[in-house]
Structure 1
Amino acid sequence: MSLLSTAHERGITTLTLDCPDNRNALSSRLVGELARALEDCGKDPGVRAVVLTHTGSTFSAGADVKAPPSPYTFVALLRAIVELPKPVVARVSGHVRAGGLGLVSACDIVAAGAEADFALTEVRIGVAPCVISLTLLPRLDPRAAARYYLTGERFDAAEAARIGLVTVFGDDVDGALAPVLDGLRKASPQGLAEAKRLVTARVLETFERDAEDVVQRSASLFASAEAREGMTAFLERRDAAWVL
């Protein structure tokens, strides 16, 4: 059974993360399915843009700690979103945690509803948002990035818009998204591809410069004793040993 569902309407292909029982955690299987679907969308002349959304109350809880993708595989997925010659729009109506924010920030446009909230929880399990910094740091206000990277605090859609993560938000996410999709349908394929190259250039520079470093740093952190304690505490639903 697929972890990703696909629908198409008037030039817009919607890819839906569809493993709500696992809070759409980014397993190696889900990342692989999403990468293949994006590749198909890139080749299909009938696809003007891609909407990435979710079932259940969580867009994505971040990496699946039981079956995580390799850091290189996840970097490749984020880069595929950024480099796709068609706009990718995130539609968020639930919780986004850790690696899920990397997925959202890789998208060109992000629409969020009233139910959406966000948190970079890596510091609470003994690691850091290394790989997702490739797409997050070029987007976020630096002071806000420092706060939420360091504290793991939760923030809402309005705050996410203020700091550069979310493009449009409202009580009705589909109402907020409708004019965006209307605009994309009116744009030419060539115009969209070339405009996207302009607005993603700075993000792609971070991949060229930093990808290997953040992959190595991530691997080192996840292999550490603190990370083992943090992930064990998370799975056992208890405070980690360092909590004061």
Structure 2
Amino acid sequence: MSIAAAIDHTAWKTIELERKPHAAIVWLNRPTVRNAFNEVMIAEVTEVFRFLSVDTSLRVVVLASRGPVFCAGGDLSWMKSMATYTPEQNLADAHGLADMLRVIDRCPHAVVARVQGACYAGGLGLVTVADVAIASDDAEFCLSETRIGLIPATISPYVLRAMGEREARRWFLSAERFDAARAARMGVVHEVVPVDELDATVDRLLATLVRVSPNALRESKTLVRDVAGRTISDELIDDTASRIAAIRVSEEGQEGVKSFLEKRKPNWLPQELPTISVTAPSEQ
């Protein structure tokens, strides 16, 4: 399914969608407010990821931001308006953010976060729902919620999964800032590179991701989610054995083994690997 006919790109107010061969780039586009969330951005990001998730021509989705800041968390004007919400309205609003994070987390394609500058609160949630996060060395992270009397509730399942409980006990409570190097040590991001190498690093990763079997990529994402945290038991062993047995006889499994033995490229590999630049036009 192609997304071209399914989405009205001109209707979006807070994001942009850029299409590349086998890849899409979702740009957060509120640079004047440091790409902070409001209810419109949450709804639009949710919508675009739902459509991208059913686009079978895609293999990778990049989540990036216009301007010098990745995401400063919640828009203060939006949060101020919540003071007038009823409990039911507040709950519905919170579910909107939680649903957005889950839609990105469950996207069947590889999701890559390109992180620069400040990444606070909900922005950190976006980073931790991505499969791979690449940060520039000027990136700065903060779970800032407790400074304004809140808690990082909806993002907590994903942030905890990334950094672990022990680290979360400090950073959830203290609202301290930490740099990209510490974020990498904790598992929040996978790689830290100089600012001027960020796009080239993401490009190399994308070129690698489009080389792998699309079906194996999707099944590997599911495998990680289903196996993580489970006790090694007879049931788990049976489950994993069944998965490898099934993929061995799949079309791409057969093609992969056959092409390897015949020393040729598999049929899912593009004849010409795309060059995917994620540099924002305003930054060129």
- Counterpart of 1:192 (choices 217, 226, 234) is 217
Match of 1:175 in 2: 200
- Counterpart of 1:82 (choices 105, 117, 124) is 105
Q: Distance in 2 between matches of 1:200 and 1:176?
A: 26
Match of 1:217 in 2: none
- Offset, 1:204: 11
Q: Which runs of 4+ in 1 moved over 3 A?
A: 201-205
Asked which structure has the greater CA Rg, the reply is 2
Please, which runs of 5 or more residues in structure 1 have no aligned partner? 206-244
Match of 1:63 in 2: 74
- Offset, 1:203: 7.8
Match of 1:72 in 2: 95
Please, which runs of 5 or more residues in structure 2 have no aligned partner? 1-11, 80-91, 231-284
- Offset, 1:82: 1.1
- Offset, 1:14: 0.3
- Counterpart of 2:164 (choices 141, 145, 160) is 141
- Offset, 1:183: 1.6
- Counterpart of 1:44 (choices 50, 55, 79) is 55
- Offset, 1:109: 0.6
Q: Distance in 2 between matches of 1:75 and 1:84?
A: 14
- Offset, 1:10: 2.1
Q: Is 1:11 aligned to 2:25, yes or no?
A: no
Match of 1:232 in 2: none
Q: 1:173 to 1:200 in 2, by over 3 A?
A: farther
- Offset, 1:30: 0.4
Q: Give the SS at the match of 1:60.
A: coil
Q: 1:104 to 1:60 in 2, by over 3 A?
A: same
Whether the aligned pair in 2 keeps the contact of 1:60 and 1:97 (CA below 8 Å) is: yes
- Offset, 1:179: 2.8
Superposed CA offset, 1:85-119 (max 9, x none): 11111001111011111111111110001221100
- Offset, 1:202: 6.7
- Counterpart of 2:31 (choices 20, 42, 52) is 20
Q: Distance in 1 between matches of 2:21 and 2:124?
A: 28
Q: Give the SS at the match of 1:59.
A: coil
Whether the aligned pair in 2 keeps the contact of 1:16 and 1:53 (CA below 8 Å) is: yes
Q: Distance in 2 between matches of 1:177 and 1:143?
A: 30
- Offset, 1:147: 1.7
Which amino acid in the other structure matches residue 18 of structure 2? Answer: A
Q: Give the SS at the match of 2:109.
A: coil
- Counterpart of 1:123 (choices 132, 139, 146) is 146
Q: Distance in 1 between matches of 2:136 and 2:198?
A: 4
Match of 2:46 in 1: 35
Whether the aligned pair in 2 keeps the contact of 1:168 and 1:177 (CA below 8 Å) is: no
Which amino acid in the other structure matches residue 191 of structure 1? Answer: A
Which amino acid in the other structure matches residue 74 of structure 2? Answer: A
Q: Give the SS at the match of 1:70.
A: helix
Superposed CA offset, 1:133-185 (max 9, x none): 01110111333222211211111111111001001111021233233212211
Match of 1:111 in 2: 134
Q: Distance in 1 between matches of 2:160 and 2:227?
A: 10
Whether the aligned pair in 2 keeps the contact of 1:88 and 1:107 (CA below 8 Å) is: yes
Q: 1:203 to 1:98 in 2, by over 3 A?
A: farther
Which amino acid in the other structure matches residue 194 of structure 1? Answer: E
Superposed CA offset, 1:52-96 (max 9, x none): 000112111112232258110111111101111111110011110
Q: Distance in 1 between matches of 2:213 and 2:77?
A: 43
Q: Distance in 2 between matches of 1:11 and 1:204?
A: 32
Q: Distance in 1 between matches of 2:219 and 2:175?
A: 36
Q: 1:34 to 1:203 in 2, by over 3 A?
A: farther
Q: Give the SS at the match of 1:15.
A: strand
Q: Give the SS at the match of 2:78.
A: coil
TM norm structure 1: 0.79
Residues 201-240 of structure 1 correspond to what in structure 2 (within 5 A)? 201=226
Superposed CA offset, 1:8-31 (max 9, x none): 222110000001111111111001
